[in-house]
Amino acid sequence: MEPMVRRRIEVGSVAARSFAAAGRRVAAAWIAAAAIAGTAGPLAAQTTTSPLPSSIESVEGIIVADVVEFATLPDVDGEAARMMLLVDEPATRRLFVNDMRGRLYSVSYDGRTVELYLDLDDPRWGVAVESQGRERGFQSFAFHPDFGREGAPGYGKFYTWTDTRNTKPKPDFKPGGGDATHHTVLLEWTARNAASPTYDGGAPRELLRLEQPFRNHNGGHIAFNPLARPGDPDYGKLYVGVADGGSGGDPLRLSQNMQSPFGKVLRIDPLGSNGVRGAYGIPADNPFVGQRRALGEIYALGVRNPQRFGWDPANGTMYLADIGQNVVEEVSRVTPGANLGWNLWEGSFRYAGNRGVDVSKPRSDPAMTYPVVEYAHGDPLLQRRVAVTGIVVHRSDAVPQLRGRVLFGDFPSGEIFHFDADNPPEGGNRGFGRVLLRQGGAPTTLLELIRARNRAQGKPPAERADLRFGEDATGRVFLLNKHDGTIRMIVPSGA
Ligand SMILES: [Ca+2]
Ligand SMILES: [Ca+2]
């Protein structure tokens, strides 16, 4: 127990020290901005909804990336595919993309063939995907790294993380309050033949079931660390993002509650059996294993809505994009046992509820891990609805101008950003620049490309992009959205 507590403090100290070294001027500016924003009284002088002293740099540091239309997913009931995730399954040489309404498609490496692989919402599976509203649905999926290795324990196995209308089974975890709106389930599917063009296995096995207290903020991203090799401790361990349950402000205070899976990144062994109901395993090297009053499944805590995370192939650093409350969006590093701060902190600042954030002592708790980059909801570059997504760390030669850059974005507006993977910033919004896209014409935003495509489709132009990133094993970068059914791929200039 002791060593872990010490390790967590060390992690926070590194962030705090670097910040002190690199950011004193920025911190002073934050405080000055807070003083300007403040109205009256000692509390108001510290509290603001615009804590960053400047806007995102919109002109300097732009990288222009060429894009092509790579593949098209079909509409469902006249509505464009609600794409959330694209992953590569290298053993069977296919990409997979989901539609939040329950469909999982395979896409050939050349983008020419798109096939429905599995419909989670088919009545024969009994999954009953809950996909109403913007935030509920088939959230994420992951292929076991053994998926294509015949004879290996994970052969043919993949996992889906979805909201469900079927609330008859008893949940493994309840939030201890809220409205019991629906459940979120982690399922294991086993294909008989991994190379089969459509799913040829039976009904899924249920690993984990959560009762949701509120309709928003549900499952996050699930993924295996693609850098782990057979024999590594991280091989075959599934990272499971779980949002804070919803409403606003984490009213049940779940993200800092070590007995609750909500507001966490979990790490489990889907083929193990020492977890809840024996349906999955808790890896012995998880950071809180053996601690009383803490779930051994927890890998990191203090997250709000961890829809996306990813790893840097050059050094193994894990980054997570966490969607903010009313004020700040962030990308943070994730280390074992890290506390990313929510709902005590929003970005670098103390969370102050409806009043915004308190900027008086930014990044001052050494037990916390603070963002590498953050941006404010009121930034003029973005639309009114603001939410961060990520994460692609481009270390291949697939797109030379993006080599060594960490890509993240703001999904409603479709803005794409980059920062230096070898010298990541230590908070604030000055350490990153924009990526603009060129699809034939002048460099522009993803949203404008979607709107042009919508016009060609005879549809009203979308008002938001709902950007998500994807990548394959060779480093090709893909851009998803929810409004034109089109998967775009970033290509080298002149390709
Ligand atoms: Ca929820
Ligand atoms: Ca945070």
Find the 343 Cα to ligand 2 centroid distance in Å: 8
Pairwise CA distance, residues 374 & 429, whole Å: 5
Q: Which ligand is nearest to the Cα of residue 244, counting in written order?
A: 1
Distance 328 CA to ligand 2 centre (A): 9
Question: Any idea which ligand is nearest the CA of 243?
Answer: 1
Near ion ligand 2, which residues have CB within 5 Å? Answer: 340-341
State which residues have CB under 5 angstroms from ligand 1, the bound ion.
Answer: 212, 214, 217-218, 245-246
Whole-number Å distance, alpha carbon 448 to ligand 2 midpoint, is: 31
Give the ligand with the smallest distance to the CA of 247.
1
Ligand nearest to the CA of 182: 1
- Report CA(305)–ligand 1 centroid distance (Å): 10
Distance 136 CA to ligand 1 centre (A): 8
Question: Given this model, what pLDDT does residue 1 score?
Answer: 30
How many domains are contained in the chain?
1
Distance 340 CA to ligand 2 centre (A): 4
Global pTM value: 0.91
* Contact indicator for 295, 261 with CB cutoff of 8 Å: yes
Which ligand has the nearest atom to the CA of 248?
A: 1
Rounded to an integer, the average pLDDT of 470-477 is 95
Q: How far is the CA of 217 from the centre of ligand 1 (A)?
A: 4
Q: Is residue 477 left, alpha or beta, with left meaning phi > 0 and alpha meaning psi from -120 to 50? A: beta
Residue 234 confidence (pLDDT): 98
**Dist. CA 409 → ligand 2 center (Å):** 16
CATH classification at residue 143: 2.120.10.30
Q: Which ligand is nearest to the CA of 351?
A: 2
Q: Which domain holds residue 457?
A: 2-491
* 268-316 pLDDT, tens digit each: 999 999 998 999 999 999 999 999 999 999 999 999 999 999 999 999 9
Instruction: Name residues whose C-beta falls within 8 Å of residue 248's C-beta, 6 or more positions apart in sequence.
Output: 325, 326
Task: Report whether pLDDT(9) > 80.
Answer: no
214 alpha carbon, closest ligand: 1
Within 10 angstroms of residue 249's Cβ, the number of other Cβ atoms is: 16
Which ligand sits nearest to residue 255's alpha carbon? 2
In this predicted model, what pLDDT tens digit does every residue of 167-226 receive, in sequence order? 999 999 999 999 999 999 999 999 999 999 999 999 999 999 999 999 999 989 999 999
User: What CA–CA distance (Å, rounded) separates 169 from 454?
Assistant: 42
Q: Could you read off the pLDDT of 59-92 as tens digits, one per residue?
A: 999 999 999 999 999 999 999 999 999 999 999 9
pLDDT tier at 494, thresholds 50, 70, 90:
low
Q: Any idea which of 30-44, 88-102, 223-237, 457-471 has the lowest mean pLDDT? A: 30-44
> In angstroms, what is the span from residue 185 Cα to ligand 1's centroid?
12
CA of 325 to the centre of ligand 1 (A): 14
> Ligand nearest 130 Cα, by number?
1
Strands 298-301 and 318-322: unpaired
Distance from the alpha carbon of residue 324 to the mean position of ligand 2, in angstroms = 8
Instruction: Write down the pLDDT at residue 4.
Output: 35
pLDDT in tens, 146-167: 999 999 999 999 999 999 999 9
Q: What is the whole-number distance in angstroms between the Cα of residue 218 and the centre of ligand 1?
A: 4
Edge-to-edge strands of the sheet including 103-108?
A: 114-119, 103-108, 94-99, 83-89, 468-471, 477-480, 486-491, 63-72, 433-438, 415-420, 405-410, 388-394
What distance in angstroms lies between residue 346's CA and the mean position of ligand 2's atoms?
A: 5
Q: How many whole angstroms from 300 Cα to the centroid of ligand 1?
A: 19
How far apart are the CA of 333 and the centre of ligand 1, in A?
A: 24
Q: How many CB atoms lie within 10 A of CB 319?
A: 24
| % of the chain with per-residue pLDDT over 90 | 88
Ligand 1 centroid to residue 348 C-alpha, Å:
25
Query: Is the distance from CB of 350 to CB of 344 less than 8 angstroms?
Result: yes
Classify the phi-psi angles of 337: left when phi > 0, otherwise alpha if psi is within -120 to 50, otherwise beta.
left
| Residue 24: pLDDT over 70 | no
Q: Measured in angstroms, how far is the CA atom of residue 379 from the centroid of ligand 2?
A: 19
Say how many Å lie between the CA of residue 20 and the centre of ligand 2. Answer: 18
Query: What pLDDT is recorded for position 30?
Result: 46
